[in-house]
Structure 1
Amino acid sequence: MNVFRPVVTRAVSGVLDRSLFAKTIPLTAAIVSENKLISRYRKDLEKSKEILSAERISAIAPHPDQTLAAQGKKCLLLNPAVKPAAPDTWGAVLKEGVDKSELEVIPYSLNLDYEYFGALDVLSVVLPPELHDEIPSGFNVAGHVAHLNLREAYLPYKKLIGEVIVDKNPHIRTVINKVDNVGSESEFRTFAYEVLVGPDDLDVEVRENDCSFHFDYSKVYWNSKLEGEHTRLIRSFKPGEVVCDVMAGIGPFAVPAGKRGVFVWANDMNPESYRYLQEAIQRNKVGMYVRPFNEDGRTFIHKAADSVYAASQAGDHALIQVKKIPVPPTISHFVMNLPAMAYTFVHHFRGLYAGHEELFAPSTETKLPLIHVHCFALKSDDEVPLLDICERLINELGVKMVPGDAEKEGEVSIYNVRDVAPAKRMWCASFRLPREIAFAAR
């Protein structure tokens, strides 16, 4: 039994009673005769494993006598296995210190309360045992807002869960719970929600990849759990390249890429996302590199290729410290982060560079674009989801594809982004646009 766990205190009618978490743990303390000896004895007692080792509790504490504590006297808290009246539980370091009159062993009462325990500790004792398998301790964060997606079994305790999240996360003021599905059921990936705790204020500011974003979370899509995926792809873009972000949202790929000197044609069909994307471009001073658009991604794919070529022909460039950085004539990457249906867009790449074969190898050293398609598939460690993803791409493109290396013809690199449900995973399938697709008639 872990003595530093809270006492079991099942919530009555979903009400959180913080006073029930008060707990006194009987320990043993070693009073050090002189404060200058504390550091040495702490190290020696750590080596002999006699010192207290517990999360968020310092082994050095004020003397239990308040008068002596006011004078600066301290003590060392010991392992719960050490008993003050049982010298046979003392180790060699403690015994030697007592023999030298440098240490005095006394009982010590450690008082803990609700503030000490973490969110998982609290929820694990207030929720019934049958709900312990998936305690909702993880959540999406947008500024001061925590976004939950509670399963039905947890709904009777939703207010309590929200209170604990606010209590244990100082930057969180509002907790919301999604009440419908995002993806194919919502054109702009927005969702209906209910406020569990705090003000109904979803106007937020966030920072990611050294960029600042401001938006109304109820009107656009944002997922803090995708920061790692944003970073991974952004690092694969090279300064001076062109990236086309087909479903850019408010710019978590586009804006940081622009900061790295990457040209980005960033599009989103949601007018609100487009508005906040424009604000993010201005706020982060990447206007020379990032161009925002508000169009249907299906038609934007061809328009972007044509627009980039036209911009290059017109001599468009970024000017950095008197140095001109020209817009190249071709797009190096297409990002399609709409996992519910992005793969259905890929047939729109047919004819992307029809009539422009001379822009690519072998006429030049330029490769055809890498296409990054985010999608959902089965959570499995075998090849089943990989083959499923390739089959979808084959059905859309009419070209054979197998899991493998995106730099090899006919192969797809498939990256495990994150788990989104017990049997569902988000993946990113990356492949070079096949020549027979790129140069087909439009």
Structure 2
Amino acid sequence: MGVQGKEGDVGGQSQTDMSIFRPPVVRTGTAALNRALFTRRVDLAAAAVQDHKLISQYRRTLQSSRELLHVDRISPIRPHPDQALAGQGRKCFLLNPSVKAEAPETWGPVLRAGVQKQELTVIPYELQLDYDYWNYRDIMVSVLPEELHDDIPTGFNIAGHVAHLNLREHYLPYKHLVAEVLLDKNPQIKTVINKVDNVGSESEFRTFQYEVLAGPDDLNVEVAEGGCVFQFDYSKVYWNSRLETEHRRLINIFQPGEVVCDVMAGIGPFAVPAGKKHVFVWANDKNPESFKYLSAAIKKNKVGAFVRPFCEDGRTFIRQAADSVLEASQKGEHAVVTHRVKSPPQQPTPAAQEGPAGAPARPTVREERIPIPPTISHFVMNLPASAIEFLSSYRGLYAGREALFAPHTPGRLLPLVHVHCFALKADGDDDRAPREDICARITAALGFAVRPGDDPDVEGCAVIHDVRDVAPAKSMYCATFRLPREVAFAARD
């Protein structure tokens, strides 16, 4: 629970005084949750307002003088504790806990002046707090042993109505309690699950075994991201809401009319919003369930003219996509986008000069034909546990097709490759170690020397973007580099 004010002095009283707003310690020796034990009575003073027209004035002055109660999630304006007066609309202000109704020497200058003017009356007030008032962390501090307070489980992945925990071993005895409180304090969550294995190491498709800690065993969810809606069974495909910023970052790089090859597309968090942006996407995932939900998302979000789903092994798909895009371009395949354009208002005839200035504009429909270009502009490889191992498949990607690119075709560059990966964090502030490690692994897989740099258009330079922390000593990164000519035009195996 947050209590606002300066450090060591909150609303004119010490932090010690504010302990009255903390939940009671409820450690029963079991992992059961008894909500009734969280009821607490707080004895305060209140300033009853004689005239409701003065409420705004006194709220401002009492707050400025720090005589007003200032605690998170507690409104300082309350109905008068006398029910008869409350029925007449009378209000009162809850006051700083240092103010005592029976001790005028504790009253501040604004309160004293208001009493002298007979505009305020100081009365005792009994404030009732219960389980619903305190937040998730408050409850956890109250029920968990003190040795577990340092890393209370607060981070979890949300997919629709499902909260996905990954509890550490020492919290497992309290797993159902944690889940129950999460449900209480997050109305949008209906089901809480806990992962019981490691994603990426025990499942080829990054799915996981789970146990239901609270709520129904219903993992059919609906998620909105990037202006698109996705519906899927969370137990059968990979989804991570914490990657939304990374999805948006790359989508913002893609330009309308370009072709993106999403090698490990999942259910389409890159592909479908990019299609909304009029980017052509060849979207692939080896998991048949991901392919099913990807296809459904393409249809639901009406991006079928731009996004094509595939279900292939990523290594095979990389080369197939380059050939398929070229073939589609040579066939003249394209998308048609409809624009509604307002026509200029009709001008009145001379005989009607005294009438309206012009008739309402009538929208007209204009169709834009967007051709599929012959080459891929971006490859996205969002499989951080192993994506670097797929880089050898780029050798010979455009073998014998040098004429498609600069200098033969001015302005057309080889694709940018965005490969996600994990790496250990460096000790201290020096971030060179993980970047050099990533580039060494890319070099080994690609068969071409790659080094950390700031410009992916410089051949052999990779820009390493820090995506997010996944463990205390481990981070997820995205390495972006321009596919080297030596690799792209090498002979195919």
Using structure 2 for the length normalisation, give the TM-score.
0.87
Of residues 212, 228, 231 in structure 2, which corresponds to 1:214? 231
Cα-to-partner distance string for 1:262-293 (whole Å, 9 max, x where unaligned):
11000000000000000000000000000000
Equivalence for 2:246: 229
Unaligned runs of 5+ in 2: 1-15, 339-366
Tell which deviates more after alignment, 233-242 or 394-403: 394-403
Question: What is the identity, as a one-letter code, of the residue corresponding to 2:202?
Answer: E
CA distance in 1, matches of 2:240, 2:77: 41
How far residue 11 of structure 1 moved from its aligned partner, in angstroms, is 4.4
CA distance in 2, matches of 1:325, 1:262: 10
Equivalence for 1:355: 400
Tell which deviates more after alignment, 375-384 or 58-67: 375-384
Change (3 A) 1:403 1:79: farther
How far residue 217 of structure 1 moved from its aligned partner, in angstroms, is 0.7
Equivalence for 2:272: 255
Of residues 412, 421, 443 in structure 2, which corresponds to 1:375? 421
Of residues 333, 358, 366 in structure 1, which corresponds to 2:412? 366
CA distance in 1, matches of 2:373, 2:424: 38
Question: What is the identity, as a one-letter code, of the residue corresponding to 2:258?
Answer: E
Do the aligned partners of 1:310 and 1:329 also contact (CA within 8 Å) in 2? yes
How far residue 185 of structure 1 moved from its aligned partner, in angstroms, is 2.4
Matched residues, number: 442
Q: Secondary structure at the match of 1:79?
A: coil
Of residues 452, 460, 465 in structure 2, which corresponds to 1:415? 465
Do the aligned partners of 1:274 and 1:292 also contact (CA within 8 Å) in 2? yes
Of residues 392, 396, 400 in structure 1, which corresponds to 2:441? 392
CA distance in 1, matches of 2:98, 2:321: 69
Equivalence for 1:34: 51
Equivalence for 1:346: 391
Using structure 1 for the length normalisation, give the TM-score.
0.97
How far residue 89 of structure 1 moved from its aligned partner, in angstroms, is 3.1
Larger Cα-atom Rg: 2
What is the Cα-based RMSD across aligned positions, in Å?
1.3
Question: What is the identity, as a one-letter code, of the residue corresponding to 1:403?
Answer: P
CA distance in 2, matches of 1:404, 1:51: 56
Q: Secondary structure at the match of 1:307?
A: helix
Equivalence for 2:333: 316
CA distance in 2, matches of 1:3, 1:316: 70
Q: Secondary structure at the match of 1:395?
A: helix
How far residue 408 of structure 1 moved from its aligned partner, in angstroms, is 2.5
CA distance in 2, matches of 1:165, 1:11: 19
Percent identity among equivalent residues?
66
Q: Secondary structure at the match of 1:371?
A: strand
How far residue 379 of structure 1 moved from its aligned partner, in angstroms, is 2.9
Cα-to-partner distance string for 1:36-59 (whole Å, 9 max, x where unaligned):
111111111222222211111111
Q: Secondary structure at the match of 1:137?
A: coil
CA distance in 2, matches of 1:253, 1:367: 22
CA distance in 2, matches of 1:82, 1:428: 57
Change (3 A) 1:436 1:72: same
Change (3 A) 1:132 1:430: same
CA distance in 2, matches of 1:58, 1:439: 69
Q: Secondary structure at the match of 1:3?
A: helix
Of residues 447, 450, 453 in structure 2, which corresponds to 1:404? 453
Do the aligned partners of 1:308 and 1:330 also contact (CA within 8 Å) in 2? yes
Question: What is the identity, as a one-letter code, of the residue corresponding to 1:180?
Answer: D
Question: What is the identity, as a one-letter code, of the residue corresponding to 2:105?
Answer: D
1:433 aligns with 2:479: no
CA distance in 2, matches of 1:349, 1:133: 47
CA distance in 2, matches of 1:353, 1:5: 66
Tell which deviates more after alignment, 294-303 or 419-428: 419-428
How far residue 323 of structure 1 moved from its aligned partner, in angstroms, is 1.2
4+ residue runs of structure 1 moved beyond 4 angstroms?
none
Question: What is the identity, as a one-letter code, of the residue corresponding to 2:283?
Answer: A
